[in-house]
């Protein structure tokens, strides 16, 4: 697996160092980050120093796509300018997700739950082309979707 995800002429990650894998095969993309050898904290995104203890003893990690909702809110209003929002605007769930195993807790949008989101709900990250950058390249981002008891969406 390519770590971190490599930028191509046509596709880039939403932020450098946060994704691993071949961006042309979205089903194989994973979250990338770091783990501190001193305190054990995991962080989304490739780091050079631990944000928890300031150690430089950091190792690269690739994290899974499954997680559970730790906390959430419903974003009912579009962001103010200069940010852009989908039109027409519809409320969306934004949640803190604990990634499986010893992965980090990350903030992200949750689709398909509307007002039915629950704490400890199982979710699965899906990677998709979210927008085009100023150079015309497709930007790959993620959204979490609910997972049923059998593990499928």
Quick one: tokens of 89?
């605007």
Instruction: Give the pLDDT of the chain (153 residues) as one tens digit per residue.
Output: 655 565 667 899 998 999 999 999 999 999 999 999 999 999 999 999 999 999 999 999 999 999 999 999 988 888 787 777 777 888 889 999 999 988 899 999 998 766 678 899 999 999 999 888 888 899 999 999 988 655 555
The Cα 130–Cα 142 span in angstroms is 8
Where are the domains positioned within the chain?
Answer: 11-146
3-state SS, residue 149: coil
Q: Provide the whole-model pTM.
A: 0.84
The Cα 51–Cα 59 span in angstroms is 13
Quick one: tokens of 125?
């990250």
Quick one: tokens of 113?
């739950």
CA trace torsion 55, 57, 60, 62 (10° rounding) = -70
Per the CB < 8 A criterion, the answer to whether 116 and 74 are in contact is no
């Amino acid at each position: 697996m390519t770590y971190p995800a490599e930028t191509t002429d046509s596709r880039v990650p939403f932020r450098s160092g946060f994704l691993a894998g071949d961006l042309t095969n979205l089903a194989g993309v994973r979250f990338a980050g770091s783990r501190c050898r001193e305190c054990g904290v995991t962080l989304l995104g490739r780091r050079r120093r631990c944000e928890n203890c300031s150690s430089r003893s950091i190792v690269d990690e690739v994290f899974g796509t499954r997680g559970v909702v730790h906390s959430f809110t419903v974003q009912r209003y579009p962001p103010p300018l200069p940010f852009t929002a989908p039109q027409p605007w519809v409320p969306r769930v934004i949640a803190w997700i604990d990634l499986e195993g010893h992965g980090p807790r990350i903030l992200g949008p949750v689709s398909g739950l509307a007002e039915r989101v629950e704490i400890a709900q199982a979710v699965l990250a899906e990677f998709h082309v979210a927008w085009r950058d100023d150079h015309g390249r497709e930007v790959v981002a993620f959204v979490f979707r609910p997972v049923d008891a059998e593990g499928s969406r």
